[in-house]
Structure 1
């Protein structure tokens, strides 16, 4: 006997929310750019670990000897340089490994359409650009004033130019309309899924 009030013991199943089947090319290119950024981190680490440290040590010695508080009777400048340069190299290598991990993390999460990852990538990209501009400004200022600058290989110079250009390209691609539409669609589907409005 049917219920006169139309009561149904089980709710009708609703089709699960669908995520857009195809990721837009703008986002795909941004993700590819992130993988390239990770690769550049590895290349930068290789350059750092294999560079000729002689010029860097000489520069450090010269700069230390210029300091009014420098006292060779306490610690000789050459010995200090011999200690500091390997620390600089190891520290740079550690930062490159961390950078690689961040690039991979952002590539995977943005590729999945996670909007929080796009926001994190934007913040990190802005910080990276600010750091690049600061470094360029310091180098240009030191050169103009006749100050010393850290020696850089041709490879490092190329990387210092490529990295900010890559970051800018990625950020633009992440916020173009097709990418934004995809992030919104994925976010809406995940929200409906969390709300439990479908049975399956």
Structure 2
């Protein structure tokens, strides 16, 4: 009959002193945490983060960024504003006051419109005075009395003179505002007037002093619009796309 061990905790033969028996947890030293039970995580050491359970996000340490987050101190880039097709054009820059040459061209065109209206009314009051002897003979040969045409020619001449005078006045104001389309329109009208004047001289049609003066004023106004600084004034007023 064997006798029980007097000290059951004493190490047996083949075991080191201080090692636990099978199935027992080792005794922690002073200042250490006890070992965790089976299935539990051990507590973190001083200065370390605790391990996270499955499916949980670990808190980011200072200076570290989580997945999918912007770096610290940086902002996400904003989409730049691109103009879409069909958008309005950019506004023109400030033109400033009209140059002296533009103002002078404005008054020349106004004077041409006034003199042109006067010339048209004078010519319409006596339309037969503008006809050559050959043209008078043609009227008499066709059986049409020149006097019967005089009334109609007077009315038509006055209406046409008023329309052209209004057009020149409108172009003059638009030119003073720096509208390039007005400058182009006036250039075309001046070119047509010069051609008509030259064809009239070639055909022997009498040309009045007022008509000649009107043509000179219009051409001078057009030339001033294309000289500096007037030309730069129209470029600043043109819209940008």
Into which bin does the TM-score normalised by the smaller protein fall? 0.5 to 0.7
C-alpha contact 1:57 1:82 (8 A) present in aligned 2: no
Give distance in 1, aligned partners of 2:132 and 2:219: 36
Question: Highest Rg: 1 or 2?
Answer: 2
Distance 1:17-1:172 versus aligned 2 partners, 3 A rule? closer
C-alpha contact 2:110 2:169 (8 A) present in aligned 1: yes
| Correspondence for 1:22 | 97
Describe the superposition over 1:82-124 as per-residue Cα deviations: whole angstroms up to 9, x where unpaired.
Answer: 2111222222112101111110121111111111111111111
Alignment of 1:89-168 (within 5 A): 89-139=154-204, 157-168=208-219
C-alpha contact 1:19 1:186 (8 A) present in aligned 2: yes
The two structures, once aligned, show a CA RMSD in angstroms of 3.2
Structure 1 runs, 4 residues or longer, greater than 3 Å off: 5-8, 53-65
| Correspondence for 1:88 | 153
Give distance in 1, aligned partners of 2:192 and 2:131: 29
Distance 1:134-1:39 versus aligned 2 partners, 3 A rule? same
Secondary structure of the structure 2 residue equivalent to 1:23: coil
> Please, which runs of 5 or more residues in structure 2 have no aligned partner?
1-72, 80-90
Cα deviation for residue 17 of structure 1 reads 5.6
C-alpha contact 2:121 2:161 (8 A) present in aligned 1: no
TM-score normalized with structure 1 length: 0.66
The structure, 1 or 2, with the larger RCO (C-alpha pairs under 8 Å, 6+ apart) is 1
C-alpha contact 1:118 1:174 (8 A) present in aligned 2: yes
Instruction: Name whichever structure is richer in helix by fraction.
Output: 1
> Please, which runs of 5 or more residues in structure 1 have no aligned partner?
9-15, 140-148, 151-155, 196-200
